[in-house]
Chain A
Amino acid sequence: MTGASAMVRDGARQAMAWLHGWTGLLLGHILFIICLAGTLTVFKPEISRWMRPEISGQADPVRAITAATDWLSANTTGSAGWYLSAPDGRSNVVEATYDSGGAYMSRALDPVSGAPVARDTLGGEFFYRLHFELELPYPWGRLLASLAAMLMLVAIVTGIIAHKRFFKDIFTFRAGKGQRSWLDGHNALGVLSLPFHIMITFTGLLTLASLNMPWGIAAGYGADVATLYSDLTPGTVSRAASGTKAPLAPVGSMLAQAQRYFGGAPVSRIYIFNPGDAAAVVTIYPVEAAAIGMLPAEISFDGATGKVLKAWTEKRAGVRAYQTIYGLHMAHFAPLLTRWLYFLGGAMLTLAIASGMVLWIVKRRERAPLSIGNRLLERLNVGGLAGVPIGMAAFLIANRLLPLGLAERAQQEVSVALWSAGAALLLGLVLRPALGWPLLLGLLALLCALAAALGPIWAGDGVILSGNMLLTATAVALGLLVWKQCRRRSAPTPVRRRMAPA
């Protein structure tokens, strides 16, 4: 290698390292929220079951959907649409979004009575929405999530190139050495499941493609979104309400017919447009469990007569490719072991982001006293990295403690989560980091333990019991961490050595 090209490469590597740090810094907290919420969303139906302990056991999808449409027919008028998710092996309620008098409601419907379940809660949907909407109004949350994902892609690409000893780092961890340990940990977390990190970032960006990369659509279709939609899903029917009332034909026979068309695959989503109108349309989709791709088929019925209007099985390569990528991100296809691997990959990415943000501070602290900006960042790290999970744990506790009859109960649970996270952020900003870290992490451990205790801890339902075990394990791990932190602090501080150049 000539001297000049070595210099160019060294410069590029250094610039990449710089860019890696700054992209991570800029949206690190947002990425932390996205990754933590996304990791939990892997078990969205299970979280929903934990949060609705009154409904237990399996539910029959056809009976549950019939009960749901009966209840909705009796309790909504002039609705533009009902969007229902049938229960399956994991979920045991009908998740419904419907408009009632102009306002859109999201409710879990009891699989037997069809009425909303008493414990009004968003359940796992809260984590799912937080993952890509960040509790911000449409489209700003999704745009911010897209921007964060794009920066993450830059951070991953630059992180790889900034790396000198790619494979060695998988096996390197030097404990108890300050900056060196944080760097080793960050590298190992980043590198060990790098293929997962790249996959999940890419596919995540693609799920929001129509928002963050609409230029291909604009070039091909201009503003004609309706044509694009009918081209993408030829099995759907778009027609206006007629204004004439007509009761919905029996849904059970439509569901049975749909399942036959899907080759025996159970139904998953049932969309009913203009219910109660003579021009009502019922569109049914199969479960995605059998294949990685989403929406491999769809079938639409005339709502008033129950006759098939259109049916479509997706075989086009380009569309299938997109659906496969989409499905790879959603992981609905994944059997239990794969789901745990998604969870593990997500957890490692979350920790890689958190350790990267801590590393930014540790690295600068070991060289010189921190600047004002970095001291603020250090405290933001305490409040943000501990505050987000504190809000989530508070959300679970609110689910058990808020009275069932409370108005807007589901929203109140979310408020508790946001206020708790906000309070933790404030505490992190006010307290000295040396005090803030153990205090907030200890608080998080207590909240996790409390949530598990309120489960109740010896729940009969296996899903709830597993959730309690996970919460307890998290509490114990955090407790150990805090204990170690406190013990090290009481020991005499070792003299700081100047880091040898890497």
Chain B
Amino acid sequence: MAAPIHYRASRWRYRANVALRTIAGTVGAYGVAALGAAAMARTLPMARVEAVTLATMIAYLIAPGVTIWAFLARGPWRAVAGVMLAALALGGIAWIAGQPA
């Protein structure tokens, strides 16, 4: 299958585009899911063990969502920035909430 004209013009730009999205959609997706698990484990309004269990399960749904989004975002840098922003927000929530007693 021939590459769309848009990309054929600059092969390297296309490769960098895919590389950035791939990193955002794999490593980034795992990071967002992990921090999401941490944030939910500390904030979900239920017994600690239930919050931890539920948070862990939801994390696995976050990861593929981020993967898909990383490839559908308008541009590669938007994908990277979006993933970093989400990670920062979730990490912040987890940090502010602190470990439950």
Q: Which residues of A contact B (CB under 8 A)?
A: 7-8, 10-12, 14-16, 18-19, 150, 153-154, 157-158, 161, 202, 205-206, 209, 213, 215-222, 228, 231-232, 316-319, 321-322, 325, 501-502
Question: With a CB–CB cut-off of 8 A, which chain B residues contact A321?
Answer: 53-54, 57
From A7, A157, A205, A217, B6 is in contact (CB under 8 Å) with A7
Question: With a CB–CB cut-off of 8 A, which chain A residues contact B40?
Answer: 216
Q: Indicate if the CB atoms of B60 and A216 lie closer than 8 Å.
A: no
Binding site secondary structure of chain A? helix
Q: Indicate if the CB atoms of A215 and B34 lie closer than 8 Å.
A: yes
Question: With a CB–CB cut-off of 8 A, which chain A residues contact B47?
Answer: 231, 316, 318
Q: Indicate if the CB atoms of A157 and B55 lie closer than 8 Å.
A: no
- Identify 5 residue pairs between A and B in the complex whose beta-carbon atoms are under 8 Å apart, listed by A's number: A8-B74, A150-B63, A153-B63, A220-B100, A502-B1
Question: With a CB–CB cut-off of 8 A, which chain B residues contact A502?
Answer: 1
Q: Indicate if the CB atoms of A10 and B51 lie closer than 8 Å.
A: no
Q: Indicate if the CB atoms of A219 and B37 lie closer than 8 Å.
A: yes
Q: Indicate if the CB atoms of B6 and A220 lie closer than 8 Å.
A: no
**Chain B min CB distance to A486 (Å):** 33
**Top 8 A-B pairs ranked by shortest CB distance?**
A318-B50, A216-B37, A219-B38, A231-B49, A216-B41, A220-B52, A216-B55, A215-B34
Q: Indicate if the CB atoms of B52 and A213 lie closer than 8 Å.
A: no
The A-contacting residues of B in range 50-76, CB under 8 angstroms, are 50-57, 59-60, 63-64, 67-68, 71-72, 74
A157–B34 alpha-carbon span in the complex (Å): 19
**Chain A min CB distance to B41 (Å):** 4
Question: With a CB–CB cut-off of 8 A, which chain B residues contact A215?
Answer: 34-35, 37-38, 41, 59
Closest to A215 in B: B34
Q: Indicate if the CB atoms of A221 and B56 lie closer than 8 Å.
A: no
**Chain B min CB distance to A406 (Å):** 44
Q: Indicate if the CB atoms of B64 and A157 lie closer than 8 Å.
A: yes
From B55, B60, B71, A16 is in contact (CB under 8 Å) with B71
Closest to B38 in A: A219
From B30, B57, B71, B99, A322 is in contact (CB under 8 Å) with B57
Interface string of B1-35 (1 = CB under 8 A from A): 11110110000001001100110011000100111
Question: With a CB–CB cut-off of 8 A, which chain A residues contact B7?
Answer: 11, 14
Question: With a CB–CB cut-off of 8 A, which chain B residues contact A231?
Answer: 47-49
A154–B66 alpha-carbon span in the complex (Å): 11
A209–B25 alpha-carbon span in the complex (Å): 20
Closest to A160 in B: B68
Does B83 reach chain A (CB closer than 8 Å)? no
A374–B68 alpha-carbon span in the complex (Å): 29
From B6, B49, B71, A228 is in contact (CB under 8 Å) with B49
Q: Indicate if the CB atoms of A154 and B41 lie closer than 8 Å.
A: no
Q: Indicate if the CB atoms of B72 and A12 lie closer than 8 Å.
A: yes
From B37, B67, B71, A213 is in contact (CB under 8 Å) with B37
From B17, B42, B50, B64, A316 is in contact (CB under 8 Å) with B50
